[in-house]
A and B are shown apart, each in its own frame.
Chain A
Amino acid sequence: MPFITAGDPNLATTAELIRAFDRLDCSICEIGIPYSDPIADGPVIQASYTRSLQKKITVDAILETLGATSSQVRLPLVTMVSYAIVYRIGVQAYVDAALANGVSGLIVPDLPVEEAPTLSAVCRESDVSLIQLVTPTTSRERAKRILDTSTGFIYYVSVTGITGERTELPPEIVENVKWLRENGDLPVCIGFGISEPEHVRQLAPHSDGLIVGSAIVRRMAVEPDPNRVVASVAAYIESLQAEL
């Protein structure tokens, strides 16, 4: 499950990548809506958000691009979006616009379960998933509550920290994901830090999906030839898929 930042380096590339991920049979594509103050993100995704915002790419323009692209692919699209943005645009208005443009789910990384009821109700009515996160610091009691209200899948955050590539991932992931799968009906996908083929080998058998973000965004940023960006990302995804 790839993550890319919308509008980095431009919306045409975002659309082209979505089509490429569809051809590669990725299971879901996560689209990061750039935000000015992303506290859960490491330097790589922060920088991509800044680049995109500097080009004055708006939420309207992003959703329009997703709308034009979603009709061409089978790949479900979900937006990773700060609640600051959802609230300002309007909870109902954002969900309506997402739905109208073929977006099937929302991940709102700064909206814990306690603050989620309003958005959760609107999403349920519109049949848009509200994918909630469970982390290594989440108690089992909280995790049960999150399992009860999350829809689509559970995003298990592999590390106590921010997004970004890691060489080593904590050993308790497998146990925590196992518990989540046993205690709920939702698929459980793992994200944060995943970047190496070795990670895929270790975690794929124990989860329903692996989310790769910073590793893709960084590859795009360092690719010197703008015409090679999509090919370079596709080659990387294939190298990870080879481990499945």
Chain B
Amino acid sequence: MNGQDPVAAFRVEAAELLDQIEQGLLDLGHRLDDRELVDEVFRGLHTLKGSGAMFGFDALATFTHHCESAFDRVRKGLVPATGELVAVILFAKDHMRALIEGDGAGLEAAGDTILARLRAAIEGAAGADVPAQAAEDARGGWRIIFRLPPDAMANGTNPLMLLDELRELGEARVVARTDAIPPLADLVPTRCHVGWEVELRTQAPKSEIEDVFIFVMDDMELTIEPLASSVEPSPAPQPELPEVETPTDVAAQQGRPTARSGEHVRVPAERLDELMDRVGELVIAQSRLSQLANGGVDVVALRSVSEEIERLSGELRDTMMVLRMVPVATLFGRFRRLVHDLARETGKAIDLVTEGENTEVDKTVVERLADPLVHLIRNACDHGLEPPEQRFAAGKPAAGVIRLSAHQAGGEVVITVRDDGRGIDRERVRAKAEAQGLIQPGQPIADQDLLQMIFHPGFSTAAQVTNLSGRGVGMDVVKRTIESLRGSIDVSSASGEGSSVVLRIPLTLAIIEGLLVRVGAERYVIPLAAVEECLELSLEEDLRSRGRSFITLRDRLVPFLRLREMFATGTRPDPYQKIVVIATGAERVGLVVDQIIGNHQTVIKSMSPLHRDVGTFAGGTILGDGGVALILDVAQLVAIGQQQEERLRAAG
């Protein structure tokens, strides 16, 4: 990490700053007169400008400077904060993100448009009597008087460069103001005591002169006034306000993969200290071990070192796991913006309430949860919540509430998305399912199963396809993503009261408890969370079920798969085969294995890309003897079992 690219470090930091600014702005949108929020946003913009300039993001610095100065007027109470202003600065923030991620090429036009809107918003907020900035432009030139802060040179500012830059704008007459130079005895040579007065003959507008001082402006004294001879107010040109394409812009921003931030994890220092302690202990244990290796064999000492190392590696693993955990707040934070934009788009009033933001989840899980949750929240906003008038008619408050909560339960994190909208229309779901041939007309079906229909590919009950959702690509993708995280998804809904979708995700993807089994000569791991029970497949039952591959388990038929045949091991079955019954949701399937070896805590290693087409395995793990065992993909196996069941059913 030592040789880290400073620009990359800046990008990470800037992304965090932008998030902070966004949160601040969103809060501000609700409490327009909150001074602290205004200050917070201003500070964020200010820091971004400063560090942007330091790392050579000049376009960003210039652009941010304009936003900052606009916001400065709010901060100083010259103009009130308005909803419009907040919305414009949110766009500006997106633009800043684009500037940070790209090289700024081709973005000037978009930036200018946003700045024009920003100016209009500020003017709109200030009322008509505030003179447009453009009116301050003087024809003949400017008198500029400036004095840098005393420590400017120590901070790397060279006043001569500033003067040179001014000269580039036109004919300049520079007079140094030496009145503030202290007596020689008090003079600190590294400080800047000289001020300057510049008469600049130029057509350049005031803003261009301000740009010269952009990086020192905040601490310096600067007055810019038109040259006396040429004060002739020019008619203020009406600033052009091209419409910014709101929805497409937003879509583009959201479509951009946010996963990039996933490459970095911020770790609290105390957790690193803990890790360091463990590593220190490990080094000591290692030296004890080498002493033992060099001296004679002392079994008791060897055993104690072995135990020591076992304890340490266990603790190291636990500490490491904790390092990868991040609070879901980072995830939830993103949705506030989403809901804000959705509310503007749909014209519904929507409040997002979040709970349990401090629940911690593995970093990779957080990243991969983002897209499914976006889908669910969009669905809730678009399908779930009714327009205000309907809500009013139903006796509900006008603003719909979307409740996003997270909590930990056992080894799982439970994330719930709940809305207080109209609920899922079961008649429509049924009609659609019948139209698609998923169920027979009039076929009785359990309520829960009916609701699960919405996870079928191509299933959408939206009568109209909107910009947001309703294209029927979504819920099935959500389900698949959650299952790939070894999680589950449940939906419940009460008509007129709203729906809720519950996601259960394992805390970490890196380690699972597994059941180690043997099939033929190879060993495999079945995730223990999916295992329901283990039975013996007796010889008679095996023979009897040759043709149909079903067992009866507590009055239910459960299909089973003979892994030995499936994996073509070419070995003879063990005399006492076992059936491991695994389940996802309500669907169960038995796996016939030769031997159950026992529990195995598994560090999951991913398969090579060359094996990605082999769907039956979710990964591999390394066993105690250094060999490799493959981890079975439960969802895939259950799907294969279901197909087999359907084939048999069709065959009668």
Q: Do A and B come from one complex?
A: no
Interface residues in chain B, defined as those with a beta carbon under 8 Å from any beta carbon in chain A: none
Interface residues in chain A, defined as those with a beta carbon under 8 Å from any beta carbon in chain B: none
